[in-house]
Amino acid sequence: MSEKVARSEELFRHAVELMPGGVNSPVRAFRAVGLTPRFIARGEGAYLYDVDGNRYLDYVLSWGPLIAGHAHPHVVRAVREVLERGTSFGAPTEEEVLLAEEIVRRVPSVEMVRMVNSGTEATMSAVRLARAATGRRRIVKFVGCYHGHADPFLVQAGSGVATLSLPDSPGVPGETAGLTLTAPFNDLAAVEELFRRFGEEIAAVIVEPVAGNMGVVPPVPGFLEGLRRLTREAGALLIFDEVMTGFRVHAASAQGLYGVEPDLTTMGKVIGGGLPVGAYGGRRELLELVAPAGPVYQAGTLSGNPLAMAAGRATLELLDAEAYAYLDRLSARLAEAYREVFARHGVPICVQRVGSMLTPFLAECPVRNFEDARRQDLALFRHLFREMLAEGIYLPASAFEAHFLSLAHTEDDVERTREALERALPRALAQ
C-alpha cells in the first residue's frame, strides 16, 4: 500500500505558520518519526480516515480515551441528545451527578469527585489539595512518568517530553521544580531514602500505578503496596494518577487490579469518552477541603460540561465484565503477534501489557523503568513505524507510548496487524 499525503502536507505547511510546530500537542507532529502528520478527516470504529482518503487501523485512539472506538453509536446518541438542549450553562446539571455517581460506584477509594477539563488540571489540583491537607510542600514523582504539563510535573517527565528528548522545561521556576523529588519507577528503596531525608516535608507521592508514558511498565510486586506503607507511615498522601489507566485496565481501574487504595485518584481520558474531561477524587474528608465546601480553590468555566459528562457516562455503560474480558483477549493476541513475528526474525522485543494497553519495547526484557525503556532501538522503531503506516496501521509515533485497543477492534484487525508486521519488519530491518 502506498499512501497519498498531498493534502496532509499542504495543511501541515499552513499549520506550522499558525501554530507552534503545526500542532496543539507535541507528539502529534510526528517529529520523532520524521514524517508529515496525517490530518484526520474522521474516525469510525477502529479506523481513522485521513484527508487524502487513506484508511488506518488505529492503535492510538486519541491516546487512550476511545475505549469504545471512534464514533460509537451509543456515545454519539448520548452526546447528540444533550447537545440539542444546549452546550454549557455554568450551572449544575443532572449529567454531572450521573457521571460522578458512576465513578464513585466503580472505584471504592473515590468517595467524592471533582470534574475538570483535562488530566493536567486533575493532577495539578490533586497536588494542591495534598499540599493543603498536609501543610507540606514537597512531592515525589517517578522518572519517566507523565502527569500533564503543570509546573511541578515537568521534572524528568515521560510522554512527549521523553519522545522529544527535551530537558526539564524552561519557564518552570527552579523554586517550583526543586520541590519535586524524583525516584526511578519500581525502585522502592529509592523512595525509602527520600522519605528518610525529607519525610516530614513530603505532601504526596504521585505515581502512574501502571506507567504508560514511558511505554507500558507494570508495577513490580510490592511496589504499590510499599508506596502505600511509606506514605502512610510518613503522614503523606498517595496519589494514583489513573488518567490513562482509569477504567481501561480494570472495571475499578489499576487500584482495583492491584488491590491498593490511594488517598487521591486522578482520572481523564476514558471518563470523557473522547471529549475534554479530567477528574480528581478520593476520601470525603479530603475532597471536602475543596471550594466551596472548603478553602482550597479550584474552578472551571466549562468543568462538568454536559456533552463531556454524557460521552463519559455512555462510554462507562459499555464497560461491563464481558467488555474487559474481550479487550484483554484481543490485546493478548496483539502482544503474541509482535512476539511471534520478531522471534521469527531473531529481533529482540519485550512486549509489556496490562489489559488493553501494551508496548512492544524494541529491547530485551524486562523493562522496569525509564532507563530500561531508553535502551530501545529507536532507529528500528522509526523505520518500523513508517513501514506500518504505509501498511495502513496507525501506531503511536513514539517508542515511549502505549498502544490501545478498543471494543471496536476485532480478531481480524489483529490478524491484519500481524500480517502487516510480517511484511513491514524485514523492510524496516533493511534500512
Amino acid at 45: G
Give the binding range for ligand PMP (CB under 6 A) out of 1-9, 216-224, 238-246, 344-352: 238-246
Site string for ligand PMP, 42-71 (x = CB under 6 A): ---------------------x--------
Q: From residue 329, how far is each of 166, 294, 326, 414, 415 by CA, in Å?
A: 36, 45, 5, 11, 13
Q: Is 146 in the site for ligand PMP (CB under 6 A)?
A: yes
Per the omega criterion (within 30 degrees of 0), is the bond before 366 cis?
yes
Among 8, 109, 120, 253, binds ligand PMP (CB under 6 A): 120
Is residue 168 annotated as part of the catalytic site, yes or no?
Answer: no
Q: Is 141 in the site for ligand PMP (CB under 6 A)?
A: no
* Residue 268: CB minimum distance to ligand PMP, A: 5
Is residue 269 annotated as part of the catalytic site, yes or no?
Answer: yes
Residue 418 exposed, middle or buried by CB count within 10 Å (0-12, 13-18, 19+): middle
Query: Which residue, among 105, 130, 119, 43, has the nearest Cα to 317 in the 3D structure?
Result: 105
What lies within 8 Å, CB to CB, of 154 at 6+ separation is: 161, 168, 169, 172, 177
Buried (b) or exposed (e) across 186-220, using 16+ Cβ within 10 A? bbbebbeebbeebbebbbbbbbbbbbbbbbbbbbe
**In this structure, are residues 29 and 22 in contact, taking their beta carbons and an 8 Å threshold?**
yes
Q: Is 243 in the site for ligand PMP (CB under 6 A)?
A: yes
Catalytic residue among 141, 269, 338, 372: 269
* Residue 243: CB minimum distance to ligand PMP, A: 4
Give the binding range for ligand PMP (CB under 6 A) out of 52-60, 240-248, 313-321, 381-389: 240-248
Q: 131 or 141: whose CB is closer to ligand PMP? A: 141
Q: 8 or 266: whose CB is closer to ligand PMP? A: 266
- Measured CA to CA, the distance from residue 214 to residue 217 in angstroms comes to 7
- State the cell numbers at 106: 466503580
Q: Is 398 in the site for ligand PMP (CB under 6 A)?
A: no
- State the cell numbers at 60: 492510538
Cβ atoms within 10 A of the Cβ of 13, count? 11
* Residue 277: CB minimum distance to ligand PMP, A: 8
Site string for ligand PMP, 277-306 (x = CB under 6 A): -x----------------------------
Annotated catalytic sites, by residue?
A: 146, 241, 269
**What residues make contact with ligand PMP under the rule CB under 6 A?**
63, 118-120, 123, 146-148, 159, 208, 212-213, 241, 243-244, 268, 278
